[in-house]
Amino acid sequence: MKIVVLDGYTENPGDISWAPLEALGEVTVYDRTAYEESPLIAERIGNAEIIVINKTPVSRATIDACPNLKAVAVLATGYNVVDYEYAKEKGIPVMNVPVYGTDNVSQFAVSLLLEICSHIGHHSESVHKGEWASSIDWCYWHFPMIEVSGKTAGIIGLGKIGVNTAKILRAMNVKVLAYDAFQTEAGRAVADYVELDELLKRSDFVFLHCPLFPSTQGIINKENIARMKDGAILINNSRGPLVVEQDLADALNSGKLAAAAVDVVSTEPIKADNVLLTARNCIITPHISWATKEARERIMQTTADNIKAFMAGEPVNVVNR
């Protein structure tokens, strides 16, 4: 079986092994191919039967240009880069990795909040620049310190990651509210379900942990920001288009929101003119919530298991049945 990995670098920049895939067939790995439609994609697929992708798009045109293609394995949970409905018409299963990074994404979300509240990175940099050594006082701080304990957090999207984040917050004596169209017992155990308006009105911290659907795209917009507490903090390490970035920048620059931290933006890599780059009190990280070595090893093994199951005639984690 011929397997081509079209954009393997972010999954494996060299610190883990492709051996789980190599055990299944002849594997060709490209670090990067293209993040936009390109003839190079079909050219590199060639006569491969299985392709492995992360963010390289697989369009109808690419599928038509690769008649030997039999399966698509995505090195991620999201699969919107694949024309999966057309793949279904062609009998090509698209397989994803549904669970691999719950702990990391929750860890990162709370880390973003703590960085805003304690400004650890900034003050460490300040000390290394010599400001403490030259200070006349035994300590100093450049920004107000915020105590997390006793505050209220609102989580929009209380799936597995949201529940895990809620558990961490509750351990820090934070009251947790949640808004989700689908309520679960696991969610009720860690949060109080409320309507979106109430969540926005009561929350000191708002976390986005929801998928990107038409109903959630732009859920953080000027109207909903107006409903938020003055001085609230927004955390988004879910999907960039959940936020109307100009509206968020306006809220930060006006002081309506105290701060925001985002690990995702509307277009990635971030564009040089993205309004959040010049907004006040906005931390931006380059979509790395998922990227611990442990999580990437789980992605690799699950992808190999997906391909093995497909080869055995019993595909699993198929998103386009």
Whether 122 sits among the annotated catalytic residues: the reply is: no
Which member of 44, 123, 209, 287 is catalytic? 287
CA distance 265 to 226: 21
Which member of 22, 125, 223, 268 is catalytic? 268
Q: Phi and psi at residue 246, in whole multiples of 5°? A: -65, -40
Whether 115 sits among the annotated catalytic residues: the reply is: no
Reading the block at residue 153, the tokens are 């957090």
Which member of 44, 119, 209, 239 is catalytic? 239
Cross-strand partners of 248: none
CA distance 96 to 316: 9
Whether 268 sits among the annotated catalytic residues: the reply is: yes
Residues with catalytic function: 239, 268, 287
